[in-house]
């Protein structure tokens, strides 16, 4: 049995937020996988959906690993723990910005 080091369970809430983010990214990617080839008439457009699904899975695994590392550090060192850095958030931000730029380019190209 593990001890609860945080009565507010903040790391657990953060991990659940990452899980919801991964789920939203995965669902959006599956929709893109289904819709983009029909709209643009080429199976090559499905690659964007596949990339999103792969990114969602990778992000989920990385978020789960980050949660476990943070929990172990907090249980071991308490308030003096060195927690995981922000590379995961930066990676997600970069991926979403690229998706946004590609989406705007697709909209402008089809108009």
Bigger pLDDT: 8 vs 26: 26
Domain that holds residue 59: 10-110
Q: Is residue 2 part of a domain?
A: no
pTM for this structure?
0.74
Q: Is residue 1 part of a domain?
A: no
Q: Is residue 70 part of a domain?
A: yes
Domain count, the chain: 1
- Distance, CA of 89 to chain centre: 8
Q: Predicted confidence band at 101 (pLDDT cuts at 50, 70, 90)?
A: very high
pLDDT in tens, 9-66: 777 888 899 999 999 999 999 998 888 888 877 777 788 888 889 999 999 999 998 8
Smallest CA-to-CA distance from 55 within 33, 76, 26, 27 is with 26
Bigger pLDDT: 16 vs 80: 16
């Amino acid at each position: 049995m593990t001890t609860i080091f945080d009565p507010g369970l903040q790391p657990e809430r953060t991990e659940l937020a990452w899980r919801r983010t991964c789920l939203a990214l995965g669902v959006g990617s599956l929709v893109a996988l289904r819709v983009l080839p029909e709209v643009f008439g080429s199976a090559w457009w499905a690659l964007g959906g596949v990339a999103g699904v792969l990114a969602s899975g990778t992000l989920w695994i990385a978020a789960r690993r980050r949660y476990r590392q943070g929990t172990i550090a907090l249980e071991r060192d308490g308030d003096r723990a060195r927690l995981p850095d922000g590379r995961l958030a930066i990676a997600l931000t970069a991926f979403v910005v690229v998706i946004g730029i590609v989406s705007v380019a697709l909209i402008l190209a089809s108009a």
